[in-house]
Structure 1
Amino acid sequence: MLMPYTSIREAADEIHAGIITPTELVLETLEQIDEADGEIQAFVNVIREQALQDAEQAEREQRTGLYRSPLHGIPIAIKDLIAVKGFPTTASSKVLANNISAEDAMVIEQLRKAGAIIIGKTNTFEFAYGPYAPPTRNPWDHTRTTGGSSGGSAAAVAAGMTLGAIGTDTGGSIRIPAACCGITGLKPTYGRVSCYGVIPLSWSLDHVGPLGRSAEDCAILFDAIARYDPRDPNSVSGPPSRPAATLIEGAEGRGPLSLQGLRLGIPRMLL
Structure 2
Amino acid sequence: MAMVTRRDFTLGAAGLLAAHTFGRKLFALAAESSATDLTALTLAEASAKIRAGTVTSTQLTHACLERIGIYGPKLDCFITVMRDKALAQAAMLDGEQKAGKLRGPLHGIPVALKDNIDTAGTRTTAASGVFQDRVPMEDAPVTARLKAAGAVIIGKTNLHEFAMGAGDVSFFGPARNPWALDHNTGGSSSGSGAAMSADLCYGSLGTDTAGSIRNPGSFCGVVGIKPTYGLVPIRGIAPLVVSLDHCGPITRTVEDAAIMLNTLAGYDKLDITSVDHAKEDYVAGMKQPIAGLRLGVPVGAFDGVNEEVGQIVQVAIDLLAKMTKGVKEVSLPSTNEVSYQNFATFGETYAYHEQFFKLQASRYQPIDRRRLEAEVEAHPRAEDYIRLRWELEMLRRTIDDAFADFDLVLLPTQKTTAPVLDDMIKRNLQLLAGPTNAVMTGGVGSPGGGSNVGTYNAYGIPSLTIPCGFSKEGLPVGLMICGPHFSESRVFALANAYEKATSWHKQKPPLTPDTPVPPLITHL
TM-score of the superposed pair, with normalisation by structure 2 = 0.47
Aligned counterpart for 1:120 among listed residues 155, 159, 168: 155
1:40-95 deviation per Cα after TM superposition (whole angstroms, max 9, x unaligned): 11000000100001001111111121111111000000001100000111100001
**2:248: which partner in 1?**
209
Whether contact under 8 Å (1:6, 1:213) holds in the other structure is: no
- The match for 2:198 among 143, 159, 169 is 159
Q: What is the CA distance between 1:144 and its match in structure 2?
A: 1.1
Alpha-carbon distance between aligned partners in 2 of 1:245 and 1:230, rounded to the nearest angstrom: 27
**Aligned-pair CA distance for 1:202:** 0.5
**Cα offset, 1:14, TM superposition:** 1.1
Shift of 1:250: 5.5
Match of 1:107 among 142, 149, 170: 142
Q: Are 1:195 and 2:234 matched, yes or no?
A: yes
Please say if 1:79 is aligned against 2:122: no
SS at match of 1:45: strand
Q: Judging changes above 3 Å, is the alpha-carbon distance between structure 1 residues 116 and 250 closer, same or farther for their aligned structure 2 residues?
A: farther
Judging changes above 3 Å, is the alpha-carbon distance between structure 1 residues 145 and 43 closer, same or farther for their aligned structure 2 residues? same
| 2:67 corresponds to which of 32, 50, 59 | 32
User: Which amino acid is the alignment partner of residue 42 of structure 1?
Assistant: C
Q: Is the 8 A contact 1:154 1:177 kept in 2?
A: yes
Distance in 2 separating the partners of 1:63 and 1:230: 36
Amino acid at match of 2:138: E
SS in 1 for 2:111: strand
Partner SS for 1:221: helix
Q: What residue in structure 1 maps to residue 105 of structure 2?
A: 70
Q: Where does 1:221-240 land on structure 2 (aligned, <5 Å)? A: 221-240=260-279
Unmatched runs of 5 consecutive residues or more in structure 2? 1-32, 291-495, 502-524
Shift of 1:248: 3.7
**Matched residues in 1 for 2:97 and 2:156: separation?**
26
Give the partner amino acid of 1:45. T
CA–CA distance in 1 between the matches of 2:280 and 2:256? Answer: 15
* Structure 1 residues 97 and 246: alpha-carbon distance in aligned structure 2, compared to 1, 3 A threshold: same
Determine if contact 1:148/1:177 at 8 Å carries over to the other structure: yes
Deviation of the 1:238 alpha carbon: 2.6
User: Which residue does 1:23 correspond to in 2?
Assistant: 58
Q: Which residue of 1 aligns with 2:225?
A: 186
SS of the residue aligned with 1:223?
helix
Partner SS state of residue 186, structure 1: strand
**Identity across aligned pairs (percent)?**
43
Q: C-alpha displacement at 1:6, in angstroms? A: 3.0
Residue 262 of structure 1: aligned partner = none
Residue 113 of structure 1 aligns to which amino acid in structure 2?
A: A
- The 4+ residue runs of structure 1 with deviation greater than 6 A are none
Q: 1:64 to 1:249 in 2, by over 3 A?
A: farther
Cα deviations across residues 182-225 of structure 1 (Å, max 9, x unaligned)?
A: 00000010000001100000011000000000111111110011
Change over 3 Å in CA distance of 1:133–1:6 after alignment to 2:
farther
Distance 1:133 1:79, change over 3 A: farther
Unaligned runs of 5+ residues in structure 1 are 252-265
SS in 1 for 2:250: strand
Report SS of the residue matched to 1:12.
helix
| In structure 2, C-alpha distance between the alignment counterparts of 1:153 and 1:51, rounded to whole Å | 17
Per-residue CA deviation, residues 151-207 of structure 1 (Å, 9 max, x unaligned), is 100000100111110000000000010000000000010000001100000011000
Take 1:137 and 1:234, find their aligned partners in 2: how far apart are those partners? 32
1:72–1:114: 8 Å Cα contact kept in structure 2? yes
Greater Cα shift, 201-210 or 233-242: 233-242
**Secondary structure of 2:119 counterpart:** coil
Rate the CA distance shift 1:29–1:133 in 2: closer, same or farther, 3 A.
Answer: farther
1:170 pairs with 209, 212, 220, which one? 209
Deviation at 1:18, TM superposition (A): 1.4
> Which one has the bigger helix percentage?
2
Question: Could you say which residue in structure 2 is the equivalent of 1:257?
Answer: none
Inter-CA distance 16–249: structure 2 relative to 1 (3 Å threshold): farther
- Cα distance in 1 for residues equivalent to 2:119 and 2:261: 18
The AA in structure 2 aligned to 1:181 is: C
- The answer as to whether partners of 1:212 and 1:218 remain within 8 angstroms in 2 is yes
Distance in 2 between residues matched to 1:234 and 1:240, nearest whole Å: 17
1:249 deviates by: 6.0
What's 1:97 paired with? 132
2:188 aligned with 1:149? yes
SS in 1 for 2:286: helix
Rounded Cα–Cα distance in structure 1 between residues aligned with 2:151 and 2:77: 20
For residues 1-60 of structure 1, give each alpha carbon's deviation from its aligned partner in whole angstroms, at most 9, with x where no partner exists. Answer: 994233101001111111110001100000000011121110000001000010011111
Equivalent residues of 2:231, 2:277 under 8 A apart: no
Residues 121 and 136 in structure 2, CA contact (< 8 A), matched pair in contact too:
yes
CA RMSD of aligned residues (A): 1.8
Contact kept in structure 2, 1:3 and 1:161, CA below 8 Å = no
- The residue type equivalent to 2:249 in the other structure is P
